[in-house]
Chain A
Amino acid sequence: MKLKEIERTAAQAWSPANNHPIYLATGTSAQQLDASFSTNATLEIFEVDFRDPSLDLKQKGTLPASNRFHKLIWGNFGNGSPESSGVIIGGGDNGVLTMYSVHRILASKSEPVIGQTEKHSGPVRALDFNPFQSNLLASGANDSEIFIWDLNNFSVPMTPGAKSQPHEDISVVSWNRQVQHILSSAHPSGKAVVWDLRKNEPIIKVSDHSNRMHCSGMAWHPEVATQLVLSSEDDRLPVIQIWDLRFATSPLSQLEGHTRGVLSVSWCQADPELLLSSAKDNRILCWNPNMGEVVYELPIRSQWCFDVQWCPRNPSVFSAATFDGWINIYSVMGGNLEAQQKTQADKISSSFNNLDPFGTGQILPPLQVPEQVAQTTLIPPLKKPPKWIRRPVGVSFAFGGKLITFGLTKAPGQQMQQTYPHQVFISQVTTETEFLLRSRELQMALQSGNLLDYCQGKIQTAKLPFDENLWNFLKVNLEQESRSKLLKLLGYSKEDLQKKITSCLSNGIPDKQPLPEANETNAAQPDQLLINSSDAVAAVSSSAFFDNLIPQNISTLEIPVTEDTDGLISQALLLGNFESAVELCMQAERFADAIILAIAGGENLLRETQKHYFAKQKTKLSVLLSSIVQQKWQDIVCTCNLQSWKEALAILLTYSKHEDYTQLCDMLGARLESEGDAGLSNDACLCYISSGNVERLVECWVKNHETSSPLALQDLIEKVMVLNRSIEMLQGTAGPAPGPVLAERITQYASLLASQGCLAAAMDYLPRSSKELLIEQLRDRLFHAQGANVGDQQPPPFPYTRVNVGVIKHTSPAAKGGSAPEGAASKTGPRHPEKPNYQSSFAPSAPSQPSVPSLFTPQPVPAMSMTPHHVTPPQASTGPQTGVYSRGSPYPQYNLGLVPAAISGQAVSQSQPFGPSGVRPVGPAPFPSQPSLPGQSMPMTSSGVPPPGPTVFTPASVPSSQLPAACPLPVASQSPLGFSSAPFNCPMNMGYPQGGPGAPSTKPLPAASIPPPPTAAQESWTDPSAIRGGLQKKKKTRRKLEDALQRLECLYEKLREQALSPAILMGLHEIARCVEARNYQQGLLVHTQVVSSSSFSEVSGFMPILKVLMTIAGKLNV
């Protein structure tokens, strides 16, 4: 395929291989005249620019020359200087050798000729630069004259030795491509002489003695030092001979294809298997000299091509100079000739138009140009793929940080007969080592459930105070009594405050309350005392303190009925007119009296009175008081000075109901965040942590922190995962599906893990419930990428719409595919499309709870029917399951093996006294500070409700209340089994925002349906509310019981964490049985045994309170 053309009758020379851009130099040919008979000579330099699709060459420099050229050659000499492009040497008539500076020609500078000599006696037809030393030039002329020139000293040449006899022209000189001191010369007589310049003599003469060789061309093998080719111009022997000097008696082989004498050969330096030749048969052929076959024939035939040359830099390109006055540049890679071919004949003719050089008035007859071969549009490329197109090495990345490499294992240079390695290497690339380290730490912490230590470590290593603070918040979220601990973090400790108040009171300055929490101190105090006491005795004695407060000294009663305020109030009271009495008090600014009366007058009156009071009183504190008493938490959040956000958060922590808490915290966070201040945004993060709003935390975080680097992302994910876990522990279920911002980060994180080869870990992080497309796509990819490691798991749904390619042969979509992953998919069992999460959410969590079986085995079969349902591993796909599902259980993830009998009313009634209480959940917890307010929210205070019987069991509550028995013990993991831990938070003043994050899944549940504890032991211990039923009037005992609930939480926590030894568990079960049998004496005995046989630290958190409970229960005989 022709690439470029220029109309010149000229000798040609390519710029050297290292030159960029590529140039072609032309110098007017000697011994050829055009019709002008001009003898002028020009040296031109053209840029060969393949970016330009046109056939034109761009002339970059031109220079009139003193002589026409037999030979041109371009060398690297002087290329050390940056502006040099080497030198062009021209061999002319009369023995003239001229050296041109390419740079000067290109820059049109003066004195482009930098050297000239006339040492040769005749026309210089042969020139070659030494490939190793750019200053060495060989030239050959008439009379066997060969000179070696040092361009640094152009005046005095050397000779390679004595002239060979008989004297004849030198057609070609050529330096060996491997050995720098070896030169050869070729002679028209057909012989070639090889010179060793070190010995200064010819070392071998090559001749086939046929006497018909007429050497027109010669070339050394580009890689094999001992081989060369000679071409014969003789029409009787139009061959190319390949010689090996090691067997120099006859040619190694002979390339026969041309029908007339060969004019020129050129051996491709980039591929020794490609040798070009041009001949008088007008053909240009490319040979594979090894195979002796023609691998390419230029489809265009024109005039004789007297010189053919591979382009040194662009290996698929060569130039051909023809006697008809054109230099063409072709590619051997084939292509399409359409619209590219210019009709040369027209051009040639046109160059003679109106040309009448002799002034004869006669126009020259048309030149007989040989007919061109009929154009074929398709030109095939070289039959043999050229070496330069064969990629010998390669690398590619694949999913999961895999790197695929292949290729040469030998050093380049050992080219011949190379055997190619057939291995392909798959490597694992891990680049983010620190990231992986930290990621593993996080995973271990998440799997072991030991997040407190993890947080502690983070707190200790935190570099920024903010970071430390954040980790403190996260840690506290994982702990019991998180609310009070959060308060401490905010700088408000109940204990400290109590001390302050105590000292304040004892000093007799009951003047000002330093802190808003003062209001609740009285209520909080006994709690604190209870909490701090380590045994039941202390608890009892502290309660006595309150009992002592109640009795008061009452003097003789006098009832004034005067007309003054006192009297009017008395009269109003006598008539039961509280409203008026309060009004009177208010008017008289006797606020205390007013409030006391209002309490007696009922709820509405009290509220009205409070309102009036706050309307009248305008002090610094009054707004706070008003908001707190009227429970206007939203006002506080919306109006507080943002600098006081901590105080606002403290109020929320102290007062707000669980269902409001989250929202209020988020509102506060949003206010802080909207300020746009980085510091406040950080504080907003703390609010979101307090509320457990993961998505908002992430949204806020990414606004102020970059998360693109692996470690920065790790920073964020650590926090998210810990917060998520605390929510899971709280709710017992996996949190809500992540929102888009978090999903994006998690996907990013999982992708990053995957890119480091941690496929399983990446899979673990992807939220199972998420329907985000990106997550589903990544999950699909991770699943299949793990190959057989995934075991029996079912593949996730394919997150793309399948497209069938090819003519559809099978109608059934199931029949198609059959790839390995899909095949694996088809092997697995039928799917449950309505609950796609079940399998995946259960199975992966199994390994993380290895102790489950051991916890089960020691559990004795309960004698009492309290837990008639056995612990059944959830594999069995039994009938009742479907029954459960059809009920529309809000927990579709549960697929646990329920024993149908367990739902029988009989079982429930048997357990009546301690049956799961329907009223349990909404305890006094949310209102620790308002025990005296009419507590509608405290069901057990409303009446002496007997322990709830079967009627309390609504159908909805049945499945869930039965669940725990079928569950393994709760573990701290994402497992749905963790759900069972949820109810324990409810009755307690645990401080967890119970309606908090993930509320969507739990809110719609009626309180009664929250599942009870998972084991018989727990079942029994959650029953103080039942005991409470008959005790509501006895505040002392009630407080004890409230405290007991908190203490029990400690027990539940331990059960959840599986932190208890089997011996203790056995003991607990035993105690539970005793309690169920109301045999408290026996229970206390067992209790003593357990305490005495266990380590104190293990049981101190909950055993004392069990004793207290049993003691109380025994006394009350419930």
Chain B
Amino acid sequence: LPPQVSVINTVDTSHEDMIHDAQMDYYGTRLATCSSDRSVKIFDVRNGGQILIADLRGHEGPVWQVAWAHPMYGNILASCSYDRKVIVWKEENGTWEKTYEYTGHDSSVNSVCWAPHDYGLILACGSSDGAISLLSYTGDGQWEVKKISNAHTIGCNAVSWAPAVVPGSLIEQPSGQKPNYIKRFASGGCDNLVKIWKEEDGQWKEEQKLEAHSDWVRDVAWAPSIGLPTSTIASCSQDGRVFIWTCDDASGNSWSPKLLHKFNDVVWHVSWSITANILAVSGGDNKVTLWKESVDGLWACISDVNKGQGGVSAITEGQQNEQ
């Protein structure tokens, strides 16, 4: 039986220019979109509806990405823009307002990603100035900034946090004890590298440099933890390649890449399903493909989504063997 992908809601955003990102919140009930028209919009999409909740203006350039914070921090949305700013929006009594604006980057901020909620409210931001900023909420409206300069020469295109769950343990930590998380995130940049950063003694250090791409890394996505000791990262590139990086050892030192596929066009986005078993890949060829790892460790395309139609067509042998 083939997998099914069926469109259940078509949201007309009325954005006046290219849409660059669309993200659902934690519960999957609200959709945030952002566009080159400099706006961020929030829709209530529960039960197939599409009610515009907010049209957020504040950026002075194209807004590249939006990211929802965990609901324990309230209704918080971060956005980043070509205008070099990062804005944290917050809903207060039904009204969305800017709660924090970060202007510490010298170039386009291309990616924002909230850390696992367990760490507190921490936002990683990757910029074309090559730096990555880490904005931590310290309480009472205050934010602390840490900056990794020259993380990626010419620019950082994507950041993605490692899940907080210590591999292998789904059992609740003893209450009152704050577990000693090892904080990590991955970044991808115009230096064709995927890098893994690790916090040590409050400082962010480059832990790994993953080389396999031959052109800009467009997106990285650290797979959610499903309780297995393996860490997994997907990366996609201008070179059309999508790699799956895995690391089996707890120290996080030995990462090995596996080529998922070589597409004929730039691959812009990779996104893991919540259960981490499906990878969605979005390419410049206007196609969205879904990939799944088989028992023998091979990645197979399980569906090919045509946007707007939601149809699924079987992948032919030829397409699969393109790589």
Give residues in A with beta carbon < 8 Å to B: 1, 3, 20-21, 50-53, 313-314, 316-317, 331, 333-336, 378-381, 385, 389-412, 420-431, 433-434, 437, 708-709, 740, 744, 747-748, 751-752, 754-755, 772-774, 781, 784-785, 787-789, 798, 800-809, 815-821, 823
Contacts and interface: CB of A to CB of B under 8 A. Distances in A.
Contacts of A20: 214-215, 239
Interface of B: 1-24, 26-31, 33, 36, 44-47, 61-62, 64, 69-76, 82, 84, 88, 90-94, 99-100, 106-108, 110, 117, 120-121, 128-131, 137, 140-141, 149-150, 153-155, 170-172, 190-193, 209, 211, 214-216, 218, 226-228, 239, 265, 268-269, 271-275, 277-278, 280-286, 288, 290, 292, 295, 302, 305, 307-308, 310
Which of B27, B69, B209, B283 has most chain A Cβ within 10 Å?
Answer: B27
22 contacts: A335-B130, A336-B131, A381-B82, A381-B128, A394-B269, A399-B27, A401-B273, A404-B22, A407-B286, A412-B285, A422-B15, A427-B305, A429-B3, A430-B4, A434-B1, A752-B275, A755-B273, A774-B172, A781-B26, A788-B47, A800-B117, A805-B121
Residue from A420, A431, A801 having most chain B Cβ neighbours under 10 A: A431
Contacts of B154: 3, 50, 314, 316-317, 331, 333
A403 B305 CA distance: 10
A3 B269 contact: no
Contacts of B45: 426
Contacts of A1: 129
Main DSSP-derived SS at the B contact region: loop
B7 A426 contact: yes
A869 B15 CA distance: 64
Given A394-B21, A399-B274, A425 B7 contact: yes
A378 B76 CA distance: 30
A427 B214 CA distance: 33
B94 A412 contact: no
B24 A398 contact: yes
Given A316-B155, A389-B108, A399-B274, A406 B128 contact: no
A435 B207 CA distance: 40
Contacts of B28: 398-400, 402, 785
Given A50-B153, A399-B274, A428 B8 contact: yes
Nearest to A756: B275
A1090 B14 CA distance: 70
Contacts of A823: 94
A433 B295 CA distance: 17
Can you list the 8 inter-chain pairs with the closest CB atoms, starting with the nearest?
A: A787-B46, A398-B24, A800-B72, A433-B1, A20-B214, A395-B282, A807-B141, A399-B28
Given A426-B31, A806-B141, A51 B22 contact: no
A381 B99 CA distance: 26
Max count, chain B CB within 10 A of own CB: residue among A379, A740, A755: A755
Contact of A805 (B76, B226, B285): B76
Contacts of A422: 12-16, 19
Nearest to A787: B46
B268 A392 contact: yes
A790 to B, nearest CB: 10
Given A400-B28, A744-B170, A428 B191 contact: no
B92 A53 contact: no
A817 B95 CA distance: 10
B107 A803 contact: no
A787 B47 contact: yes
Contacts of B110: 389
Q: Which of A397, A708, A744 has the most CB of B within 10 A?
A: A397
Given A399-B27, A805-B73, A818-B94, A335 B107 contact: yes
B75 A803 contact: no
Nearest to B238: A388
Contacts of B193: 51
Contacts of B7: 425-427
A819 B24 contact: no
A50 B190 contact: yes
Given A426-B11, A772-B172, A431 B24 contact: no
B3 A808 contact: no
Contacts of A800: 70-72, 117
Contacts of A755: 273-275
A334 B192 contact: no
Contacts of B108: 333-334, 381, 385, 389
B284 A392 contact: yes
A843 B280 CA distance: 38
A533 B121 CA distance: 73
A380 B209 CA distance: 28
Contacts of B302: 431
A247 B317 CA distance: 50
B239 A433 contact: no
Contacts of A781: 26-27
Contacts of B278: 397, 429, 431
Contacts of B11: 423-426
A634 to B, nearest CB: 32
Contacts of B92: 806, 809, 816, 818
A313 to B, nearest CB: 7
Contact of B191 (A51, A399, A808): A51
B187 to A, nearest CB: 13
Nearest to B302: A431
Contacts of B190: 50, 314, 316
A376 to B, nearest CB: 10
B140 to A, nearest CB: 6
A804 B18 CA distance: 34
Contact of A785 (B2, B27, B275): B27
Q: Which of B10, B227, B282 gathers most chain A CB within 10 Å?
A: B282
Contacts of A406: 19, 22, 33, 307
Contact of A397 (B16, B71, B272): B272
A50 B82 contact: no
B308 A409 contact: yes
A431 B3 contact: yes
A772 B171 CA distance: 9
Contacts of B286: 393, 407-412
Contact of B20 (A313, A391, A398): A391
A430 B3 CA distance: 6
Contacts of A313: 215
A334 B128 contact: yes
A378 B33 contact: no
A805 B137 CA distance: 8
A404 B215 CA distance: 26
B284 A393 contact: yes
A872 B225 CA distance: 48
Among B71, B108, B192, the most chain A Cβ lie within 10 Å of the Cβ of B71
A425 B307 contact: yes
Contact of B153 (A51, A390, A784, A785): A51
Given A391-B218, A394-B21, 8 more contacts: A316-B154, A390-B62, A393-B269, A396-B280, A402-B28, A406-B22, A421-B19, A800-B70
A933 B160 CA distance: 73
B19 A420 contact: yes
Contacts of B215: 20, 313-314
Contacts of A53: 150, 153
A379 B128 CA distance: 12
Nearest to B14: A422
Contacts of B288: 393, 395, 403, 405
- Indicate the member of A385, A747, A806 with the most B CB atoms within 10 Å: A806
A709 B295 CA distance: 9
A50 B29 CA distance: 42
A395 B22 CA distance: 8
A801 B22 contact: no
B189 to A, nearest CB: 9
A401 to B, nearest CB: 7
Contacts of A804: 74
A334 B129 contact: yes
